[in-house]
RNA sequence: GGAGGCGUCGCAUAGUGGUUGAGUGCACCGGUCUUGAAAACCGGAGUCCGGGCAACUGGACCGAAGGUUCGAAUCCUUCCGCCUCCGCCA
């Protein structure tokens, strides 16, 4: 969340930065409540100071066995006043907090201004789009023909937007996961971590999914637990309420998890194939960084994610999200988009963001700076990268005229030497 | 699911209604001593929210929320978390 002190001091400029996101987030109600709360707080604290002092006097009087009944009577009145004020202050505090939780992060000044995804900026492109002497098919078509993807049976088990991977398809999914993990662990120096796929509401509030986006989450009926929409949630929350050792920053984690999203509101969109499923696999990169380095860390993290696509030799581009398309908690985001020949378009496969101190403030994650002052860390994360979409991209970019799919060379050591997927 | 135990300032602990402005040990920071270090000794240190140009100063915080009281780490209620044992189980 944003710092209430900064909002108080720079209301106008923060308001204008917020409005770059598009929908109006008004700070006025917040400021009014804050002012009211401060007045009441001052009053209550004065009363409490008075009471604390009198309590000492009463104790002293009782010790020498003198009568304190007049003071006690007086303090009964003071305590009654306090008892009236405190709940009012508490409910104002709660309301203020609630409003703060619903205000998104401020876009960084380097973020291109814009309304929606059409205003996103292509930063760079990599690779050569494959050319085929036949009509390229989409991954659903390719996968079903090879009997490695089965959406019909998945629908029987769970409904739409689920997939079953079969035969060498299941094997390929596993190979991609292992390959991504190994690159980030061995080459990029991330620490491997394995986490729960179910988390409590507090964790989701920490990273920003709650309270505003509950409808996107799968929730357990009998327990206060949610299925994670991304590994970002458990991994970032590992350090909730902690003071991190400055010498160990940046901390870099890589984590494979399944991810679960309700995709409410995306009815009719990408209903086919692997692109937008309720359950998908992802290898996630998460960093905790010092504020002065966080934007450089974002560049590095983005390059780390890009490298797995380069190694797979899949063409992609890097896009800077504009202010209107930015995620709720993010100050700056680069999307990686892979080329999908079957659709003749780019598809998002990774999203790399710097959340600055927004999540850290929600989660209370700090470190001591060079002056030994406590500061909030900056948190970052990015997909490195989504497995299902990488699977789809491989099928489309590596498809052959006869319907088979060649496998990227770098995967050979993970596929038990299988170089090509043919119909079983 | 059943029974029992426990949640105190980074860690470990003391503390059952009023000098608790939460003690002690370890760890931490500064100093003395030392060629340097260790040890020893001396001293200092928490977080959050306010007021003040500042020195400084008010309030809150002992898992959480309520309650009793002039006054709560301490008493009462509810909740949460952790541990141990039993049951069930991959």
Distance of alpha carbon A292 from alpha carbon A246, whole angstroms? 13
What is the per-residue pLDDT across A35-48, written as a single tens digit (0 to 9) for each? Answer: 999 899 888 888 98
User: What backbone phi and psi angles, to 5 degrees, belong to A307?
Assistant: -60, -35
Q: Which of residues 143-182 of A touch strand B (CB under 7 A)?
A: none
* pLDDT at residue A386 is higher than 80: yes
User: What backbone phi and psi angles, to 5 degrees, belong to A293?
Assistant: -105, -5
If one compares A66 and A19, the residue with the highest pLDDT of the two is A19
Q: From the CA of A78, how many Å to the C1' of B48? A: 25
* pLDDT at residue A339 is higher than 90: yes
What is the per-residue pLDDT across A183-204, written as a single tens digit (0 to 9) for each? Answer: 999 999 999 999 999 998 889 9
Distance of alpha carbon A65 from alpha carbon A49, whole angstroms? 24
- The most distant pair of C-alpha atoms in chain A lies apart, rounded to whole Å, by 104
A266: left (phi over 0), alpha (psi -120 to 50) or beta: alpha
Residue A97 beta carbon within 7 A of nucleic strand B: no
Residue A246 beta carbon within 7 A of nucleic strand B: no
What is the per-residue pLDDT across A248-277, written as a single tens digit (0 to 9) for each? Answer: 889 999 999 999 999 987 777 888 999 999
pLDDT at residue A49, rounded to an integer: 87
Count of other CB atoms within 10 angstroms of residue A277 = 22
Decide: helix, strand or coil at residue A232: helix
Distance of alpha carbon A67 from alpha carbon A61, whole angstroms? 7
pLDDT at residue A90, rounded to an integer: 86
Torsion angle, CA of A289/A293/A295/A300, rounded to 10 degrees? -80
* pLDDT at residue A371 is higher than 80: no
Q: From the CA of A57, how many Å to the C1' of B44? A: 31
Q: Protein footprint on strand B: which nucleotides are under 7 Å from a CB? A: 18-19, 47-51, 58-60, 66-67, 69-71
Residue A374 beta carbon within 7 A of nucleic strand B: yes
Which of A107, A353, A389 is closest to A273 using CA atoms?
A: A389
If one compares A56 and A149, the residue with the highest pLDDT of the two is A149
For residue A113, count CB atoms less than 10 angstroms from its CB and return exposed for 0-12, middle for 13-18, buried for 19 or more.
exposed
Mean pLDDT of A314-334: 97
Q: Which of residues 31-70 of A touch strand B (CB under 7 A)?
A: 38, 41-42, 44-46, 48-49, 51-55, 58-59, 62-63
pLDDT at residue A193, rounded to an integer: 92
CA angle at A189 for the pair A259 and A321, rounded to the nearest 5°: 50
Q: From the CA of A58, how many Å to the C1' of B67? A: 23
Distance of alpha carbon A109 from alpha carbon A117, whole angstroms? 18
Using the CA of A374, give the nucleotide whose C1' is nearest. B47
What is the per-residue pLDDT across A160-185, written as a single tens digit (0 to 9) for each? Answer: 999 999 999 999 999 999 999 999 99
Alpha-carbon distances of A406 from A5, A179, A419, A423, rounded to whole Å: 57, 17, 6, 12
Structure-block tokens of residue A88: 């009012």
Q: What number is the ipTM of this complex?
A: 0.84
- Mean pLDDT score across all residues of chain A: 92
Q: Which residue is nearest to nucleotide B66 (CA to C1')?
A: A87
Mean pLDDT of A275-282: 96
Distance of alpha carbon A311 from alpha carbon A411, whole angstroms? 9
pLDDT at residue A249, rounded to an integer: 87
Residue A264 beta carbon within 7 A of nucleic strand B: no
Residue A4 beta carbon within 7 A of nucleic strand B: yes
Q: Are A331 and A341 in contact (CB under 8 A)?
A: no
For residue A18, count CB atoms less than 10 angstroms from its CB and return exposed for 0-12, middle for 13-18, buried for 19 or more.
buried
Among the residue ranges A42-46, A57-61, A196-200, A413-417, the one predicted with the least confidence is: A57-61
* pLDDT at residue A17 is higher than 80: yes
Among the residue ranges A172-181, A226-235, A237-246, the one predicted with the least confidence is: A237-246
pLDDT at residue A374, rounded to an integer: 83
Alpha-carbon distances of A94 from A35, A111, A209, rounded to whole Å: 14, 32, 19
Per the listing, tokens 């991504």 go with A180
Mean pLDDT of A66-85: 86
Residues linked to residue A318 through DSSP beta bridges, in sequence order:
A124, A336
Mean pLDDT of A228-235: 95
pLDDT at residue A175, rounded to an integer: 97
Distance of alpha carbon A254 from alpha carbon A384, whole angstroms? 8
Residue A5 beta carbon within 7 A of nucleic strand B: yes
* pLDDT at residue A310 is higher than 80: yes
pLDDT band at residue A391 under the 50/70/90 scheme: very high
pLDDT at residue A151, rounded to an integer: 96
Q: From the CA of A159, how many Å to the C1' of B60? A: 52
* pLDDT at residue A121 is higher than 80: yes
Distance of alpha carbon A287 from alpha carbon A298, whole angstroms? 9
């Amino acid at each position: 969340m944003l710092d209430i002190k900064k909002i108080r001091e720079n209301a106008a400029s923060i308001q204008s930065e917020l409005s770059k996101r598009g929908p109006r987030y008004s700070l006025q109600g917040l400021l009014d409540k804050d002012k009211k709360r401060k007045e009441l707080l001052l009053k209550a604290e004065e009363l409490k100071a008075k009471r604390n002092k009198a309590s000492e006097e009463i104790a002293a009087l009782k010790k020498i066995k003198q009568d304190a009944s007049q003071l006690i009577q007086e303090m009964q009145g003071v305590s009654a006043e306090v008892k009236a004020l405190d709940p009012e202050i508490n409910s104002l505090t709660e309301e203020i907090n609630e409003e703060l939780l619903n205000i998104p992060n401020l876009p960084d000044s380097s973020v291109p201004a814009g309304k929606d995804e059409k205003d996103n900026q292509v930063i760079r492109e990599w690779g050569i789009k494959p050319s085929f002497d036949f009509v390229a098919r989409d991954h659903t078509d390719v996968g079903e023909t090879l009997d490695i993807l089965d959406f019909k049976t998945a629908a029987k088990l769970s409904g739409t937007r689920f997939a079953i991977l079969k035969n060498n398809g299941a094997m390929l999914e596993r190979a991609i996961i292992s390959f991504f993990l190994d690159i980030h662990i061995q080459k990029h120096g991330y620490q491997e971590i394995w986490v729960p796929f179910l988390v409590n509401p507090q964790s989701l509030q920490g990273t920003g999914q709650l309270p505003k986006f509950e409808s996107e989450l799968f929730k357990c009926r009998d327990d206060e637990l949610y299925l994670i929409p991304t590994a970002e949630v458990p991994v970032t929350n590992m350090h909730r309420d902690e003071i991190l050792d400055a010498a160990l920053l940046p901390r870099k984690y890589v984590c494979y998890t399944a991810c679960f999203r309700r995709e409410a509101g995306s009815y009719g969109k990408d209903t086919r194939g692997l692109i937008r499923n309720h359950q998908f696999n992802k290898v996630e990169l998460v960093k905790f960084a010092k504020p002065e380095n966080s934007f450089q860390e974002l560049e590095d993290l983005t390059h780390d994610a890009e490298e797995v696509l380069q190694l797979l030799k899949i063409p992609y581009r890097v896009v800077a999200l504009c202010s209107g398309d930015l995620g709720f908690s993010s100050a700056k985001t680069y999307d990686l988009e892979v080329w999908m020949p079957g659709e003749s378009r780019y598809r998002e496969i990774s999203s790399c963001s710097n959340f600055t101190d927004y999540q850290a403030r929600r989660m209370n994650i700090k470190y001591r700076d060079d002056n030994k002052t406590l500061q909030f860390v900056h948190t970052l994360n990015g997909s490195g990268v989504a497995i299902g979409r990488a699977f789809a991209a491989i099928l489309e970019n590596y498809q052959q005229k006869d319907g088979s799919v060649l496998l990227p060379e770098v995967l050979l050591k993970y596929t038990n030497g299988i170089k090509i997927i043919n119909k079983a």
